[in-house]
Structure 1
């Protein structure tokens, strides 16, 4: 999320209740700030992905300097493969994304049944797109959209 305003740490941690011992996929992880925050908050497995090779390199260097067991991979959100199944998936919604339904379809296979999906800085049209895919809104404001399956 380097270069973008970060959602307050308290807000994002509140949106991920019971983080201890859980798995988290951070889509649009940028420089690794949120993956490191979630791991330090007790998540047992954290993976960060971002479309920018440069930002992933920064995140990997931070991991090398201060190892927390976080893995990082380069993947554009619109082409995200199945990375595994996670208790929580957070997404820094990519600016200028036009194919919302395609991105929604890419995120779903990465969620365990009953998992939570947290969108940072959501667009107004996202609630309807996720509702079409079977998600229910748990919380919504200008900074976060929290969804469940």
Structure 2
């Protein structure tokens, strides 16, 4: 388990495959703000609601100078279907070996129906134009989250 990344720290750089046949390296976005959100699984109710909220706030968030990147351990194939089904205008990144999840300290022991399981804790990181983390949201509650992210970008 890695240390938790903190506000004010440089965002750990990474490269992951993304929807649309893209390869994304975080540092390629220097000069822009990045909303990097981690979620557990495509096509589950909470993660679908979260993706839709970001979709619905997409124009406002991009107008604030930010790029949205969603990360889970789902395969690219699953991401492509999920993205198409919900008309997501942002890239979804596939972290099947959970390296990036561990870099950001979001792969944790969770309690699911009374059982302890390892999984992704819903978390969002706002990264500024210089690649520094300016805001960390952990244990995110979906309702209103995209709105809170937009407020933090301003």
The TM-score with structure 1 as length reference comes to: 0.38
* Higher-RCO chain (CA-CA 8 Å, sequence separation at least 6): 2
The TM-score with structure 2 as length reference comes to: 0.37
